[in-house]
Amino acid sequence: MAEKRIYLSSPTMHGEEQEFVKEAFDTNWVAPLGPNVNAFEKELAEYVGIPHASALSAGTAAIHLGLKILGAGEGDVVFVPSLTFSATCNPIVYEKATPVFIDSERDTWNMDPRALERAFEKYPHPKAVIVVHLYGTPAKLDEILEICNRHKVPLLEDAAESLGSTYKGKHTGTFGKIGIYSFNGNKIITTSGGGMLVSQEEEYTKKATFLATQARDPARHYQHSQIGYNYRMSNITAGIGRGQLRHLEEHKALKQAIYRQYQAALEDIPEITLNPLGTDGDANCWLTCMTIDSRSHVTPDMVMDALGEQNIETRPIWKPMHLQPVFEGYDFITQKGSMEKGGKDESVAADIFNRGLCLPSDIKNTAEDMEEIIGIVRKCFGR
């Protein structure tokens, strides 16, 4: 095994981050709030082109507060993609609402508008629809928004993986009533941990900030009329984010270059297909993924094991939520309707999971690193 560890997607620091953090220490603004928080909200909102933002402790917190603001609660149905990370879905259950999982389509791997239509036929009055831009590729927003608007149901955009991606020239996260971003350690920019809720509606971000600071009423004493949360971003964390944001376009260009390098290096292997980028957007290529033809003798585990033997980190595709033990019993809708329990799973989401893996997509990878990764993958296929 090689001594050097090649990561899937690790943080990349530049120096400006330390300047903002030092300022926080020098001015004693190490409390949960401060100038960096206000500035990070303003700068992020300006970057994506939306007027209002609330800096929070995690993308998951942003989804949770977004659902509360949209009124999701006990007995309500929320439509959500099955092919995503559990953080997209867990907040639905926090509020005792019911997730109904929606299958993917192959053009983007995101929520299938035809399956979404089927879901509305069975559940005409959901409280919200959550769309995810998986691995940084924008979903089919025109079609999904048209369906949501026709049914008068709000859209919440989980853009945790797609900061910097655009759909027809407009940033993901700015199409729905509420958008959320994540700055987790493996994202395209990081605050080590953190998130952001954005909206065209100032009342939504004000509500998020209020709930995130323990829902303290405007009184001299500590008074609370609602249940609140300790979800606010710290001033130190926000300082890291401000420094990172100055390099977002640079990170995006490097991620896209990694995708193109894999594409060029593996295009002669017919069993391999990279994750689609869609035709109506500019994906940030947060992670480059691949699927393997089911007729191939090579499996995703074989490729991941071969890379792992050389200390190279990979990851399976997200295991769909409708296959997770914790969500057993919740409905799953494909373009054909509800999938029969116990029947053969022919869903797009399950197929992508079964045949796919995420390739190392760290922007610090050297030319030698990429050559090693690609060489190992090619060798798996006898090339």
DSSP string, 202-234: HHHHHHHHHHHBTTB-SSSS--BSS---B-BPP
pLDDT for res 261: 98
Q: What is the pTM assigned to this prediction?
A: 0.96
pLDDT category, 343, cuts 50, 70, 90?
confident
User: Parallel, antiparallel, or unpaired: how do β-strands 52-56 and 77-81 relate?
Assistant: unpaired
Q: Which CATH architecture has domain 249-380?
A: Alpha-Beta Complex (3.90)
Residue type for 212, please? A
pLDDT for res 337: 83
Q: Which CATH architecture has domain 16-246?
A: 3-Layer(aba) Sandwich (3.40)
pLDDT category, 341, cuts 50, 70, 90?
confident
16-246 shares its CATH topology with 249-380: no
Q: Where are the domains of the chain?
A: 16-246, 249-380
Q: Sign of the C-alpha dihedral, residues 130, 47, 286, 10?
A: negative
Distance, in Å, from the CA atom of 295 to the CA atom of 62, rounded to the nearest integer, reads 41
Structural contact between residues 190 and 184, judged by C-beta atoms closer than 8 angstroms: yes
Determine the average pLDDT of the residues in 7-31. Answer: 92
Determine the average pLDDT of the residues in 251-272. Answer: 98
Q: What is the DSSP string of 303-335?
A: HHHHHHTTTB--EEPPPPGGGSGGGTTS-EEET
- Integer-rounded Cα Rg, in Å, for the chain is 21
Answer whether residue 253 shows pLDDT above 90.
yes
Q: What percentage of the chain reaches a pLDDT higher than 70?
A: 100
Q: How confident is the model over 74-122, as pLDDT tens digits?
A: 999 999 999 999 999 999 999 999 999 999 999 999 999 999 999 999 9
Q: How confident is the model over 26-39, as pLDDT tens digits?
A: 998 887 789 999 99
Name the maximum alpha-carbon separation found in the chain.
72
pLDDT for res 15: 94
Nearest to 88 by CA among 105, 107, 110, 114: 110
